[in-house]
Amino acid sequence: MTLLRELTDQIVLDTVFEQTPVTRAEIAQHTGISKTTVSESARRLEAAGLLLPAGEQRGRQGRVGTYYQVAPTAGYVVAVDLNPTRIRLCAADLFGHPFQQSALPPAQPREPARVAERLRELVADAVTEAGSDHGRLLAVAVSVANPVDPATSRVIPLADTPYPEGLIQPQETLADLVEAPILVENDVNLAAVAERWHGAARTTDSFAYVYIGAGMGMGLVVGDQLIRGARGVAGEIGYLSVSSQPAGPGLGRHGFARAVAGGFHPERGQDGGQDGDQVAVDVARQVFDRAARGEAEAQAVVEREGRTIGEAIAAVCAVIDPEVVLLGGPIGLHPALLEPVRAAVRDLAPLPPAIEVGTLGDTAVLHGALALALRRARTDLCARPGPASR
């Protein structure tokens, strides 16, 4: 297949995804490609098992047109979210419609080898469930809790990451299990991608997504491009040192919930390790609940930590000037946090952006992983001739 034919087929296929069902004449009108060229492309795609006729166009004069749709057996994708509270998987067709979803508690014992084993189990089950009904597996996207090197897709271990969910190498774990591309991305980056595709950032192409849970992280989208940085650590705002913090090297990626918990229950802020961080998140939520009910001591903690977040956001605003900043994560979504953060950013940012809450909740990361897999699968589809099942 020549490059021109391959590009034409990709454009035609993308149009069918967007407009389905659609006739060849409508594709030509939408893309500006000649009707003859569109017809030739449709024939190639139908022969390859990627397109199917979906009925005839009725109710108009002239030649009857045939509607086309993407074949159900064209392929499918798998998205996985590895996080401290559960491991979630979604297998979906090329329109993003799930046909299998599963959620499991963290692997026990919570060690990288056991997490890798659980990941293999989940993906193998999804491939078995798909069978031949959905065609071949075209992409697997895995979310991890650590930065990912944009050049190699290898997970970058950071010294204070307590979650083994972020310390495995998914590409190595799945390499002998699937033939499809294995895409690995940071969880906060994927949450930002999801909010851009389906959530609160649909109408803006420059925004920041701030995840607030056990720690703090930021996903940056500028000019509709996800910003990863040279080594994948762009947006690690948990390492910023801000004036409202005690003297030290910054909150650290996993220090925020402990700071909140320690401000209200000092003994809870001292717990370490994996379970200690989850305890700190749970206590932090309780603190925010009590603040929302008007308890003065809890409100003081929330005001202080809201100021900390606002200072970090203001520093980022001075560099990238986002149109909107979205708050997310198990603590960031709490209503009690929004106004203290807004107040701090208004005080400190040169031109304060809108501060809002993400609309996808705790599903944002899995939505983002699915979007990443779908983008890759649709792009690769025309380069993989012929139907197949795996």
CATH 1.10.10.10 given to domain 3-70 = yes
Task: Quote the strand ranges of 131-272, DSSP E.
Answer: 137-144, 182-186, 207-212, 216-222, 225-227
Res 17 pLDDT > 50: yes
Which of 102-111, 161-170, 318-327 shows the lowest per-residue confidence on average (mean pLDDT)? 161-170
**Residue 124: C-alpha distances to residues 136, 173, 177, 185, 371 (Å):** 13, 12, 7, 20, 21
> CATH number of 202-359: 3.30.1360.120, 3.30.420.40, 3.40.50.970, 2.60.40.1510?
3.30.420.40
Look at residue 48 in the predicted model and tell me its pLDDT: 81
- The tokens for 104 are 């499991």
Instruction: Say if strands 207-212 and 324-328 run parallel, antiparallel, or are unpaired.
Output: parallel
Find out whether 210 and 309 touch, Cβ atoms under 8 Å.
Answer: yes
Rounded Cα distance between 176 and 19, Å, is 37
With bands split at pLDDT 50, 70 and 90, how would you rate the model's confidence at 243?
low
Q: What percent of the chain has pLDDT over 70?
A: 86
Res 37 pLDDT > 60: yes
Look at residue 275 in the predicted model and tell me its pLDDT: 63
The residue-averaged pLDDT of 13-37 equals 87
List pLDDT tens digits, range 197-211: 989 999 999 999 999
Find out whether 153 and 171 touch, Cβ atoms under 8 Å.
Answer: yes
The fourth-level CATH superfamily of domain 76-191+365-383 is: ATPase, nucleotide binding domain (3.30.420.40)
With bands split at pLDDT 50, 70 and 90, how would you rate the model's confidence at 389?
very low
Rounded Cα distance between 247 and 23, Å, is 65
The residue-averaged pLDDT of 16-40 equals 88
Helix%, strand%, coil% for the chain, nearest 5: 45, 20, 35
List pLDDT tens digits, range 163-177: 666 688 999 999 999
- Mean pLDDT, rounded, of the chain: 86
Q: List all residues 6 or more positions away from 52 whose beta carbon is below 8 Å from its beta carbon.
A: 46, 68, 69, 70, 71, 72
Q: Is 331 left (phi over 0), alpha (psi -120 to 50) or beta?
A: alpha
Backbone angles phi and psi of 251, in degrees to 5:
-65, -30
The domains of the chain are located at 3-70, 76-191+365-383, 202-359
Find out whether 148 and 232 touch, Cβ atoms under 8 Å.
Answer: yes
Q: Residue 77 forms beta bridges with which residues?
A: 92, 139
Which SS3 state, helix, strand or coil, does residue 23 take? strand
Burial readout 266-299 (b: 16 or more C-beta within 10 A, e: otherwise): eebbebeebebbbbbbebbbbbbebbeeeeeebb
Look at residue 46 in the predicted model and tell me its pLDDT: 84
pLDDT: which is higher, 249 or 341: 341
Of the candidates 65, 58, 76, which has an alpha carbon nearest to the alpha carbon of residue 42? Answer: 65
Which of 84-88, 225-229, 254-258 shows the lowest per-residue confidence on average (mean pLDDT)? 254-258
Res 24 pLDDT > 80: yes
List pLDDT tens digits, range 265-307: 655 545 555 566 778 888 889 999 999 999 999 999 899 989 9
List pLDDT tens digits, range 105-150: 877 777 888 889 999 999 999 999 998 889 999 999 999 988 999 9
On the question of a common fold for 3-70 and 76-191+365-383, the answer reads: no
Find out whether 143 and 83 touch, Cβ atoms under 8 Å.
Answer: yes
**Residue 271: C-alpha distances to residues 47, 119, 268 (Å):** 61, 28, 6
Rounded Cα distance between 250 and 175, Å, is 37
